Amino acid sequence: MLENQAETSARAARFAALHRPGDPLVLPNPWDVGTARILAALGFQALATTSAGMAFSMGRRDGAAGREAALAHAAQLVAATDLPVSADLENGFGDRPEDAAETIRRAGAIGLAGASIEDASGDPDAPIYDRSLAVERVAAAVEAARGLGRPFVLTARAENFLHGRPDLDDTLARLAAFEAAGADVLYAPGLSRIEDIRAVCRGVSRPVNVLGGGALSVAELAEAGAARVSLGGALARAALGAFLRAAREVRKSGTFGFAAEAAGFAEIQGFMQGRPD
């Protein structure tokens, strides 16, 4: 147990040290143990879960899996490699600050190096929490993270741009308030303009995560001041896109052209562990 605790602390400390503005950590998001092992073998330095990728792999819509499933999934990815893992824990699986705090305590118990809490409510009529409640929720999550007795990178997300509220001023105000509440990393997913990303990076003093997968390159995001670039569900959607194209080709034309671009069996086998029974 002591060795496990020491390893958990070491992973988390390593994860925190990888956040360097202008030299961002590229943080890919596997959706199962196999993809986690592939990404580790390719040389990435840390991993993060994706709520969308996880949910899709379960046949559920994003946001419909729940806390128990999310934490069980995160625990599998923690055990899959020796890389630090951060978890997308949505809104903490409850509206109350106490819900966010409990989720972070449980995240720490399974060995995660960090996690994110967002200010999206899940209510289509009021998709973003009032700012005061959002800040209370982040403060409670921060307090829980500090109570773990080891490093834990708490990321606070301002979700305006993902929920039809492209209000940069409110987003900046929320991120500044989350920083004041103690968040270690700040994140406003959905920003697509480089000038908005620069404004966020300049508007706070803590490391900023930027959602990649769009038109902007890692180099451009680094120049804007990003300290971390995550991919969210983009890799999962890319894989599903290839799956859909292949399945539609077979269904509609009866041909198998997709196989020419499929990964080789031996290459994929090489990323995995164990031997056949």
Contacts of 103 (CB under 8 A, 6+ apart): 67, 71, 89, 92, 93, 94, 115, 117, 141
Question: Where do the domains of the chain lie, and which CATH numbers do they carry?
Answer: 2-234 (3.20.20.60)
Q: Which helix (H) or strand (E) holds 155?
A: strand 153-157
Strand order in the sheet with 25-27: 25-27, 228-230, 208-211, 185-187, 153-157, 114-118, 85-88, 47-48
Contacts of 63 (CB under 8 A, 6+ apart): 51, 55, 90, 122
pLDDT beyond 60 at 209: yes
pLDDT digits (tens, 9 = 90+) for 262-277: 999 999 999 998 765 4
Beta strands in 178-265 (DSSP E): 185-187, 208-211, 228-230
Give the predicted TM-score (pTM) of the model. 0.95
Q: What does the pLDDT read at residue 275?
A: 60
Mean pLDDT taken over the chain: 96
Q: What does the pLDDT read at residue 192?
A: 95
pLDDT beyond 60 at 197: yes
pLDDT beyond 60 at 1: no
Per-residue pLDDT, averaged over 213-224, amounts to: 97
